[in-house]
Amino acid sequence: MSEQISVKRVVNQEDYTRLIYLITDLAEYERLTPPSEEKREKLTRDGIAMKYEACLAIASGKPIGYVVFFPHYSTFNASQRLWIEDIFVLDAHRHTGAGKALLNFCKEEAKRRDFESIDFVVLGWNAHAMKFFERNGAKRQTWTYFTITKEDF
């Protein structure tokens, strides 16, 4: 399948509505509960407040994927890095170049900002994503990812 893919920054209410639709699809893919109405509203407010940045992959005028990212800091390298929180393409549009277009956008953005690296995690069961990232220059790390939830603060 060959589609003309463009990448568009999320900048207005319509874009955030499209983004949240795709986040809901990602939640289903990852077998998670999609964001509640309250969380959807917060996602929009936080995006407008630049707590994160997002882009949509567009094909034939429709959103088919997205990436959410933001800067973070490495003390060991004394440098900023770009953290990818989500990168997702609808199943019907995989292998069209959409994921690569979103990742390349992040690479260009990190280069423009003179960041040291791009960091992210991949679910242990998502072998397809791991292969995709490795084909596109990612190297597996030996770190183990932990989370402390608000209930445990």
Every domain of the chain and the residues it spans: 5-152
The architecture that CATH gives domain 5-152 is 3-Layer(aba) Sandwich (3.40)
Per the rule left: phi > 0, alpha: psi between -120 and 50, beta: everything else, 114 is: left
Q: What is the pLDDT of residue 144?
A: 87
Q: What is the pLDDT of residue 2?
A: 61
Q: What is the pLDDT of residue 74?
A: 93
Ranges under pLDDT 50 in the chain: none
Asked whether 137 and 100 are in contact (CB, 8 A), the reply is: no
| Residue among 96, 111, 24 nearest 58 (CA) | 96
Q: What is the pLDDT of residue 101?
A: 97
Q: What percent of the chain has pLDDT over 90?
A: 90
Report the chain's mean pLDDT, rounded to a whole number: 95
The predicted-structure confidence for 19-32, as pLDDT tens digits, reads as follows: 999 999 999 999 89
Q: For residue 13, with 0-12 CB atoms within 10 Å meaning exposed, 13-18 middle and 19 or more buried, which class applies?
A: exposed
DSSP letter at 2 equals -
Asked whether 55 and 102 are in contact (CB, 8 A), the reply is: yes
